[in-house]
Amino acid sequence: MKRLLILMVVSILLAGIIFPSAVCATEDSLTEIDYDPNAITMYTYEESGVQPLWTPVPEGVTDGSYLLDCLNDGVYTRPSFAQIEFLGVHYLETGYLNKAFYIRIDLGKVYDLDKLSITWFTNRGVNYCVYGSEDGSDYNFFDDQSETEDGTMYTESVFDEDARARYIEIEILGLTRHDDGLGGEKNFFAMYEIDVYGTEAGKNQQQLLRKRLLLHPRKLLRLK
């Protein structure tokens, strides 16, 4: 009887690790990273000719909009948004910039990442790719969102299980809705929220495994 009881306990523990649904794991259980939005920077290569900037708060606007704080405050409606405007030559047919620019997020610590999602303020489709780095120097490719359709209000990047980073770079390739392509008119896009989910590297390994198997259930087939 004692041996049977031990076997039952072990089975329950294994079920909790291998089959997340057995412990009622849901995507809502992912841990959102509370990064400092004021640590977000933006840059471009000197020779690119692209001139991106965060739209400053217009004179007389006092409702809290246009602030970087809006990007990680958990509010997905007006007036909580930040906006980027830029000049730059792009291809008329695709809206792709001749040279991309980059939004860099410092998470403060190294994390094993689960996903990144962006809730857009306008319905302009933003084409971009996502990269990550542990040290801020060497970046690895994480996801491709370069075929975003016009009118898209929400995009989501679910990362592979080996995605680990402190710094995330969002490479802005262009917009699906754009000006005449000559770079003489300002293009812009705005975001309500940039949400990043993950677990601090080296911590809560069982919880991390549950989340990874939830997001990548096909990997169950490769477990031995």
With respect to residue 199, please indicate whether it lies within any of the assigned structural domains: yes
The domain containing residue 104 runs over which residues? 28-222
E strands along the chain, which residues?
Answer: 41-43, 51-54, 82-87, 96-120, 126-133, 140-145, 154-158, 164-175, 187-200
What's the whole-number average pLDDT of the chain? 81
With respect to residue 61, please indicate whether it lies within any of the assigned structural domains: yes
Handedness of CA 128, 134, 140, 142 (dihedral sign): negative
Q: Is the pLDDT of residue 181 over 70?
A: no
Write the CATH number for 107: 2.60.120.260
With respect to residue 18, please indicate whether it lies within any of the assigned structural domains: no
CA–CA dist 161, 98 (Å, integer): 33
With respect to residue 99, please indicate whether it lies within any of the assigned structural domains: yes
With respect to residue 3, please indicate whether it lies within any of the assigned structural domains: no
With respect to residue 79, please indicate whether it lies within any of the assigned structural domains: yes
With respect to residue 16, please indicate whether it lies within any of the assigned structural domains: no
Question: Where residue 184 falls among pLDDT bands split at 50, 70, 90?
Answer: low
Query: Which of the two residues, 221 and 203, has the higher pLDDT score?
Result: 203
Question: Where residue 149 falls among pLDDT bands split at 50, 70, 90?
Answer: confident
What's the total number of domains in the chain? 1
CA–CA dist 37, 112 (Å, integer): 19
With respect to residue 21, please indicate whether it lies within any of the assigned structural domains: no
Question: Where residue 1 falls among pLDDT bands split at 50, 70, 90?
Answer: low
Q: Is the pLDDT of residue 106 over 80?
A: yes
Phi and psi at residue 21, in whole multiples of 5°?
-65, -20
Half-sphere exposure of 126 toward its Cβ, with a 13 Å CA cutoff?
A: 29
Q: State pLDDT tens for residues 112-139.
A: 999 999 999 977 789 999 999 999 999 9
Structure tokens that stand for 54 in this block: 């965060």
Query: Which of the two residues, 6 and 46, has the higher pLDDT score?
Result: 46
Q: What is the pLDDT of residue 128?
A: 96
